[in-house]
Amino acid sequence: MPHSIAPAEMERRQRSSGHAAVVASHHSLIDELETAISQRNIASRAEILRRITDLFAAGSTNFSSEQTSLFDDVMGRLVNEIDHSARAAFGERIADLRNTPPRITRELALDDSIDVAGAVLRRSESVDEDTLITGARTKGQDHLLPFLNAASLAKASPTSSWSEVIRKW
């Protein structure tokens, strides 16, 4: 008589093998990240940043603060090691995500290049009041309109006060 596997056991094995594939994929990504950083290859860093951003986008609403902080650290390391056009593309991508990591959001919003900062300033709900004030005080005219747009987003936020932003500015 042939040996048969119960449907529940088959499902458990499939889930287990699917989990193993996800774990293997994450290990591969970590290996690629370490290689990209050690080899100083700007193109591979940009590709790894894109993949990490995809991973963050897929789960950002469910991540704990510790997990978000880890993404913040990794993204911060990579964004400083890529070229201008890749930084601008990263800013475009991250601008529409919710719950973006705070340090990387601030770094992009305060970037000297409006090509990098603009999308984050115009569309991100994660730019905090302190970043708006710092940017308004330290950046050039190209940055002012996006800062005003970002400030209007802050005005709509129940945690920010538009008059407080203007007063501090």
Residue 137 within any structural domain of the chain: no
Kindly tell me if the per-residue pLDDT of 10 is higher than 50: no
Question: Would you tell me the crossing angle of helices 114-123 and 84-95 to the nearest 10 degrees?
Answer: 0
Write out pLDDT tens, residues 140-166. Answer: 777 777 666 655 555 555 444 444 554
Instruction: Give a yes or no: residue 82 inside a domain.
Output: yes
Distance CA 109, CA 106 (A): 5
Read off the pLDDT of residues 49-101 as tens digits, 9 standing for 90 and up: 999 999 999 998 898 999 999 999 999 989 988 999 999 999 999 999 988 99
Residue with tokens 């940055």: 143
Residue length of the chain: 169
DSSP H/E element including 44: helix 42-59
- In this prediction, residues 32-42 reach a mean pLDDT of 67
Residue 17: per-residue pLDDT: 44
Q: In this predicted structure, what is the pLDDT of residue 53?
A: 94
Tell me whether residue 33 is in a domain.
Answer: yes
Tell me the two tokens of residue 72.
């913040």
Query: What does pTM read for this prediction?
Result: 0.69
Within a domain: residue 6?
Answer: no
CB burial readout 66-76, b (16+ within 10 A) else e: eebeebbebbe
Instruction: Output 146 or 7, whichever has higher pLDDT.
Output: 146
- The CA distance from 122 to 93, in Å, is 13
Helices (H) and strands (E) in the chain, counts: 9, 0
72 in a structural domain? yes
Q: Answer whether residue 3 is part of any domain.
A: no
Q: Which range of residues forms the domain containing residue 50?
A: 15-126
Distance of CA 87 to the CA centre of its chain: 12
Q: Is residue 47 part of a domain?
A: yes
